[in-house]
A = this chain, B = another copy of it.
């Protein structure tokens, strides 16, 4: 086969194989960054489906505009406005999951060899989207307040300016970190200093805070700054409705919107009208708010159980993050330890997670693990963490 140059570079990652293993139902899996099936708002959608007019259903079967189903664009703008986002000075493009938003932004910004600055660790799906256009991903460490600003400044000072700065500031995947208000302001100030730098602000988990007092921290930079023209904001329905709907979106300046809309035409013509009609009704029926109110304490409790289990079972050589929301805890192992070895032992005993290398923008460092508490029933979390901790203990020097 005479494949294209870019296809020749496509390689199945070992990570995907590990994740398939982790999907085995007999295993207590902390691998999948997804809600548990029992947490979806099935009944709300049942009621919505029952209430759809015949004409709305017919519309759902039809093609829609590439930019998104008009009614959903309106209801989503209302929601984004309520979060302070500048929907009137930017444009909204509905995408087939946030993954497509990443891919489209990568397509319109990245040329072979271009640098993208990411957090270390960062989200594997976005790293793959950047890679698929030949990006060179560079990781800058996270600290407790967000991306380390001194290290970021240093990276910006040397060599060519990166095309994109990619951040997941709210309950980060995989680290669970939330940015401090100060760090967000430092990023905003940095954008003024580098007017050619584009910030890709990825926000799939912002609504999933555990404590009301943290809500101010979840205000996006796109909402804080007076001039949002350097920020491409990406959101998703995956965690506030269901990933199976494949609905994401980007709120971006005109020029970026125009390019991405054209690129989307040739990628999939439009996002499913069927799922967009349901998502629109979900927002209009005010089903989101009560769902989130029900959901937040469930995730909070799962996080607490996992944190307690880590405290009780993990050896002191391991450190981990304490999330204030979202799905994830990031545990750092001793420098000499390889997460693949931990995985092999743990999976045989019946517990799984994702190894750190998947989240290293440079795909090297592997002395960490991502533990998702979103997918595992409360009563299995402690048992699973004990298995993982035992595996770590076996490998201590």
Q: Which residues of A contact B (CB under 8 A)?
A: 1-7, 10-12, 16, 32, 34-35, 37-38, 40, 42, 45-46, 49, 54-55, 57-64, 96-97, 99-100, 102-103, 107-111, 114, 125, 128-129, 131-133, 163, 196, 198, 238, 241-246, 253, 255-256, 258-259, 262-263, 265-275, 277-278
Q: How far is the CB of A363 from chain B (nearest CB, A)?
A: 14
Residues from chain B with a CB closer than 8 A to the CB of A7 are: 107-109, 259, 263
A259 touches B62 (CB 8 A): no
Q: How far is the CB of A353 from chain B (nearest CB, A)?
A: 17
In the complex, which residue of chain B has the Cβ closest to the Cβ of A111? B4
A4 touches B108 (CB 8 A): yes
B268 touches A268 (CB 8 A): yes
Residues from chain B with a CB closer than 8 A to the CB of A272 are: 96, 244-246, 272, 274-275
* Cβ contacts A to B, 20 pairs, < 8 Å: A4-B108, A4-B110, A6-B108, A7-B263, A40-B57, A46-B57, A60-B244, A61-B243, A62-B242, A97-B268, A125-B269, A129-B266, A132-B263, A244-B277, A246-B270, A268-B268, A272-B274, A272-B275, A274-B274, A274-B278
Q: Which of B57, B244, B265 contacts A42 (CB 8 A)?
A: B57
In the complex, which residue of chain B has the Cβ closest to the Cβ of A164? B2
Q: In the complex, A128 Cα to B66 Cα: how many Å? A: 14
In the complex, which residue of chain B has the Cβ closest to the Cβ of A267? B103
In the complex, which residue of chain B has the Cβ closest to the Cβ of A61? B242
Q: In the complex, A55 Cα to B61 Cα: how many Å? A: 24
A125 touches B266 (CB 8 A): yes
**Which of A57, A59, A271 has its CB near the most chain B CB atoms (within 10 A)?**
A57
A244 touches B61 (CB 8 A): yes
Q: In the complex, A246 Cα to B63 Cα: how many Å? A: 8
Q: Given A37-B55, A61-B245, list of 4 further CB < 8 A pairs?
A: A2-B198, A6-B108, A40-B57, A45-B61
A37 touches B59 (CB 8 A): yes
Q: Which of B10, B132, B265 contacts A128 (CB 8 A)?
A: B265
Q: How far is the CB of A354 from chain B (nearest CB, A)?
A: 14
A263 touches B2 (CB 8 A): no
Q: How far is the CB of A239 from chain B (nearest CB, A)?
A: 11
